[in-house]
Chain A
Amino acid sequence: MKSAQQIASEVRSGVTTAIGELTTSLRAIRERNDELHVFLYVDEEGAIEAAARIDERVGRGDDVGPLAGVPIALKDNLCQTGIPTTCSSRILEGWRPPYSATVIDRLMAAGAVPVGKTNLDEFAMGSSTENSAFGPTRNPLDPSRVPGGSSGGSAAAVAADMTPIALGSDTGGSIRQPAALCGLVGMKPTYGLVSRYGLIAFASSLDQIGPFAKNVTDAALLLEAIAGHDPMDSTSLPEPSPSLVAHVNDGVAGQRIALVRELVEGADDDVVASVYRAVETLRDAGATIVELSIPELHLGLSAYYLIAPAEASSNLARYDGVRYGLRVDADDVAAMNEATRTAGFGDEVKRRIIVGTYALSAGYYDAYYGQALKVRTQMIAAFKRAYQQADLLIGATTPSVAFTFGSKTKDPMAMYLNDVFTIPTNLAGEAAVSVPFGTGEAELPIGVQLLGPGRSEARLFAAARVLEIAEGRS
């Protein structure tokens, strides 16, 4: 499949049409969606309309934007006017938002063509899409394995050439981990770089929307289109969107890159070997390599599994059957709330609501949530110290390549451990990118993770691009 950059350039110059590109995309979806279960909803009509409008404007000589005619898949926790938005939960079945997320408005303004909504772990809680109330998504590279999660549907859409780019959200690794498992570039941008307005909240202080693409340039192109201050999101950074595409070929010469011991610890041998090989590649490209230990990273997982559920327990309170989505009738309001939530939420969501409620309860707050906040402060300080010694950090994205269905569903802790390398970045509110580098078991892709301080996206993409070129992907 053509890259997003190529499609946009061809559509703008009239070499190809948005409708033509959309047709290719819709055909790919039709061919494999039943097998892979990538899209929960395909908005064929809306997409055709949007593509036709792009072509019409190209015909008039308008500048239709950097993503002109590029089909894009959207994780189904992004609100889009009139389009069913479910978070892969029964509790939102049938709900159609009366408004669109800021990122969707910006995509449309950039000329992109949203084709539909992709599967996820219910309310983005999970690492395999096995927690979707509508059934799991299969990894296009090996359908017996998971695509990762929670943005597994968006990753699979790009990996299966259904769309060249997709949007996901990353609360503890939900973009980077599926990107690694599906052989894609995936970035968790700095907290506040991309507006969260219209992203259905899982854990508000950790959630961030980011791009999936087959290559670094497309990821940069997509992030550039959606980033920048939004007055609708109080936590949005004040600066405009950074210049990213222009810097993808800046290389790493003179950059200090630190291999972090804790970011490879416990990973499979083939994964560790890929990270070491990436380090050598970056050294060869002119980077100075140092080794670092950041022991605080060990605390990330426990802090995350208190902070994220605590916020989720509050964010998900509104699904009470009163105003929208599922309602299970009962004798009085409290009983209706309970019956609705019992029927509407899956096990993992319930587990986290219970944990989060407990962590915030009177008498337990200090021991759990309060303690986790202190760990978070330490984590931020630890990263700050690390970034005095290095410009970027490097490690693994996930401990292993894509795993098979059911292999981690019986033990929540085994599943949670999949995010051990990605969670610290969310706690610190910083940026990280996963880039495919080498393969492991069963020729499945391995993701190498590059981490940077806030607003280091351009440098991260440039370093990722060095690895991508070394792998022979232009």
Chain B
Amino acid sequence: MKLPNGWEMVVGLEVHTELKTASKMFCGCANSFGSEPNTNTCPVCLGLPGSLPVLNERAVEFAMAIGAALHSTISPSTFHRKNYFYPDMPKDFQISQYDLPINSGGYLDLPDGSRVSIERAHLEEDTGKSTHLGGSGRIHGADRSLVDYNRSGVPLVEIVSGPDIRSSDQARAYASELRGILIATGASDGRMEEGSMRIDANVSVRKANAPFGTRCEIKNLNSLRSLGRAIDHEALRQVEVIEDGGVIRQETRHWDENLGETSTMRTKEEAEDYRYFREPDLVDLAPDQAWQDRVRASLPPMPAERRRTLADRLTDPTEAQLDAVEVVIDLGLEPWVHSALDRGADITLALARAANELAAGIDGLVNLTLDAFTQTLLMEQRGELSATQAKTVLGELLASGGDPAAIAAAKGFEQLSSDSLGATVAKLIEQHPDEWARFRDGDEKLAQFFIGLVMKSTKGQANGKAVIAELHARR
């Protein structure tokens, strides 16, 4: 979306990502989504009197991995307490990093070639989760509130970008690329729908090259779609306010996905004074060089590099192929594609089957061996499977694994032998002499006519390419 009258939006994003550690940030409780409420809790993550936090080493490693992937500087850091009352926060303060974050500076390059700067990526703990029942459905005015502390103390990294984003498309591209990086580092599963990645957007508007305007922060955008819609809506709102002679007040705003609009949560005057001070129960965090080096050395290739590696195997890539590459990288499907290509599969076919069939059955990926995928593609290329049959075989493999040849046999996907195909083609040519004459005169469109007839008479058992070969052999 483009703003009217020469207005430009200025956006910075704060992305919170839960880290995929086995245990929580400061205790040994399981860090897992979807357990019975209040079962993954202990005195520490319930903030019981007398309990003390002990920092999870793995959380520090994930934070450093994220920093390394974002070209940040990893520095000695400290923890602070952010003090405010909220029932889902058991200590009524959150342990976070303040003036000395573990990662500072850095940048993220987007596929369109633009670069977004990173201000910091720091460690903090998550809160519990409140559910408000009855009444307004929000904390004020609900009949009852329930709190689940399973999420309390789950490690988070908050990644703060510079105010470098200029469109909702760029914001979505940034969030999507960052998500790929978080998944690649193993730090996060990037599941926005489960809240393991949450985004706040700082939005302001200005005329081109004018100083930044007053910003509003939109909280808790839980999908890329919401992110894009909320930013566009908020930027437009601000333009309208200013053009109507009003001023933008700095405030925190809430995005209502159903209404498709933002509304005031609290103004700057109502903002909490968090009374940050050093967390006296934790010691300074100063990962030594050797530890940092180990984390850097174990960092796998990031999406941008993987995208390049895969795209480099395409000669003269088409738009559709590049789109398929994008999907394959986003979903981490390139091991299947690379393995198939290494063994002679056609790249267009491999990308298409991965970006469509594998993407659609992504949850079954654990069942699909690299070899089974390759075999299926090669069978299709050799004409032993039609496209439809190959897709059916892949579906079966994703559902329950197995051997492609055996599945094809069990489904009766034996292709017609060339003898019987030849006989069928010959019979159909005899029955349609006019069409055959036009084909012989060079009208290639008639090939499709004959393929259709062969398919109909063989109930789809024939392979299109083999039919074309037969037709050409007889021309």
Q: Which A residues lie at the B interface, using CB under 8 A?
A: 77-79, 85, 87, 92, 95, 97-99, 101, 196-201, 203-205, 231-235, 310-311, 313-314, 317-318, 320, 322-324, 332-334, 337, 357, 360-362, 365, 369
Please indicate which of the listed interface residues B50, B281, B283 has the most CB atoms of chain A within 10 Å of its own CB. B50
CB contacts (< 8 Å) of A310 on chain B: these are: 277
CB contacts (< 8 Å) of B276 on chain A: these are: 360
Q: Could you show 15 A-B contacts with beta carbons less than 8 Å apart?
A: A79-B50, A85-B49, A200-B50, A204-B281, A313-B275, A314-B277, A318-B47, A318-B92, A320-B92, A332-B140, A333-B139, A360-B83, A360-B277, A361-B273, A361-B275
CB-based contact A233/B52 at 8 Å:
yes
CB-based contact A99/B48 at 8 Å:
yes
CB contacts (< 8 Å) of B140 on chain A: these are: 332
Which residues of chain B from 307 to 343 have any CB-CB distance to chain A below 8 Å in the complex?
A: none
The 6 closest A-B pairs by CB, nearest first: A317-B92, A205-B280, A360-B275, A204-B280, A200-B49, A79-B50
C-alpha gap A97/B85 in the complex (Å): 22
CB contacts (< 8 Å) of A234 on chain B: these are: 52-55, 281-283
CB contacts (< 8 Å) of A203 on chain B: these are: 280
Instruction: Answer yes or no: B43 CB below 8 A from chain A CBs.
Output: yes
CB contacts (< 8 Å) of A101 on chain B: these are: 50
Residue from the list B54, B90, B277, B281 in contact with A323, Cβ < 8 A: B90
List 18 extra interface pairs beyond A201-B281, A320-B85, A332-B140, CB under 8 A. Answer: A78-B50, A87-B49, A101-B50, A196-B52, A204-B280, A232-B54, A234-B281, A234-B283, A235-B281, A310-B277, A314-B83, A320-B92, A322-B87, A322-B147, A323-B46, A323-B90, A334-B85, A365-B275
Interface of A is mostly: loop
CB contacts (< 8 Å) of B223 on chain A: these are: none
CB-based contact B54/A231 at 8 Å:
yes
Which residues of chain B from 141 to 189 have any CB-CB distance to chain A below 8 Å in the complex?
A: 141, 145, 147
Which residues of chain B from 26 to 74 have any CB-CB distance to chain A below 8 Å in the complex?
A: 43, 46-55
CB contacts (< 8 Å) of B48 on chain A: these are: 79, 97-99, 324
CB contacts (< 8 Å) of B81 on chain A: these are: 314
C-alpha gap A324/B43 in the complex (Å): 12
CB contacts (< 8 Å) of A198 on chain B: these are: 50-51
Instruction: Answer yes or no: B439 CB below 8 A from chain A CBs.
Output: no
Which residues of chain B from 271 to 312 have any CB-CB distance to chain A below 8 Å in the complex?
A: 273, 275-277, 280-283
CB contacts (< 8 Å) of B52 on chain A: these are: 196-197, 232-234
Q: Chain B: which residue is nearest A198 at the CB level?
A: B50
Instruction: Answer yes or no: B91 CB below 8 A from chain A CBs.
Output: yes
Please indicate which of the listed interface residues A196, A201, A314 has the most CB atoms of chain B within 10 Å of its own CB. A314
Please indicate which of the listed interface residues A196, A200, A317, A357 has the most CB atoms of chain B within 10 Å of its own CB. A317
C-alpha gap A172/B55 in the complex (Å): 28
CB-based contact B54/A79 at 8 Å:
no
C-alpha gap A16/B446 in the complex (Å): 110
CB contacts (< 8 Å) of A85 on chain B: these are: 49
Instruction: Answer yes or no: B7 CB below 8 A from chain A CBs.
Output: no
Instruction: Answer yes or no: B107 CB below 8 A from chain A CBs.
Output: no
CB contacts (< 8 Å) of A361 on chain B: these are: 273, 275
C-alpha gap A95/B49 in the complex (Å): 10
Q: A320-B85, A322-B87, A323-B90 are in contact. Are A197 and B46 (CB under 8 A)?
A: no
Q: Chain A: which residue is nearest B142 at the CB level?
A: A332
Q: Chain B: which residue is nearest A199 at the CB level?
A: B50
C-alpha gap A333/B48 in the complex (Å): 19
Q: Chain B: which residue is nearest A373 at the CB level?
A: B278
CB contacts (< 8 Å) of B275 on chain A: these are: 313-314, 357, 360-362, 365
CB contacts (< 8 Å) of A337 on chain B: these are: 85
C-alpha gap A235/B282 in the complex (Å): 6
CB contacts (< 8 Å) of A201 on chain B: these are: 49-50, 281
CB contacts (< 8 Å) of B141 on chain A: these are: 332
Residue from the list A78, A204, A333 in contact with B145, Cβ < 8 A: A333
CB contacts (< 8 Å) of A95 on chain B: these are: 49
Min distance, Cβ B146 to any Cβ of chain A, angstroms:
11
CB contacts (< 8 Å) of A317 on chain B: these are: 83, 85, 91-93
Min distance, Cβ B141 to any Cβ of chain A, angstroms:
8
Residue from the list A205, A314, A318, A369 in contact with B49, Cβ < 8 A: A318
Q: Chain A: which residue is nearest B275 at the CB level?
A: A360
Min distance, Cβ A327 to any Cβ of chain B, angstroms:
12
CB contacts (< 8 Å) of B145 on chain A: these are: 333
Q: Chain A: which residue is nearest B93 at the CB level?
A: A314
CB contacts (< 8 Å) of A204 on chain B: these are: 280-281
CB contacts (< 8 Å) of A362 on chain B: these are: 273, 275
CB contacts (< 8 Å) of A332 on chain B: these are: 139-141
Which residues of chain B from 127 to 148 have any CB-CB distance to chain A below 8 Å in the complex?
A: 139-141, 145, 147
Please indicate which of the listed interface residues A198, A199, A203 has the most CB atoms of chain B within 10 Å of its own CB. A198
Min distance, Cβ B287 to any Cβ of chain A, angstroms:
15
Min distance, Cβ A376 to any Cβ of chain B, angstroms:
12
CB contacts (< 8 Å) of B50 on chain A: these are: 77-79, 97, 101, 197-201
Q: Chain B: which residue is nearest A310 at the CB level?
A: B277
Q: Chain A: which residue is nearest B145 at the CB level?
A: A333
CB contacts (< 8 Å) of B51 on chain A: these are: 99, 197-198
Min distance, Cβ B272 to any Cβ of chain A, angstroms:
10
C-alpha gap A223/B148 in the complex (Å): 40
Which residues of chain B from 400 to 456 have any CB-CB distance to chain A below 8 Å in the complex?
A: none
Min distance, Cβ B104 to any Cβ of chain A, angstroms:
22
C-alpha gap A370/B140 in the complex (Å): 36
Min distance, Cβ A364 to any Cβ of chain B, angstroms:
10
CB contacts (< 8 Å) of A320 on chain B: these are: 85, 87, 92
Q: Chain B: which residue is nearest A204 at the CB level?
A: B280
CB contacts (< 8 Å) of A99 on chain B: these are: 43, 48, 51
CB contacts (< 8 Å) of B85 on chain A: these are: 317, 320, 334, 337
CB-based contact B90/A311 at 8 Å:
no
C-alpha gap A196/B81 in the complex (Å): 19
C-alpha gap A332/B276 in the complex (Å): 26
CB-based contact B49/A97 at 8 Å:
yes
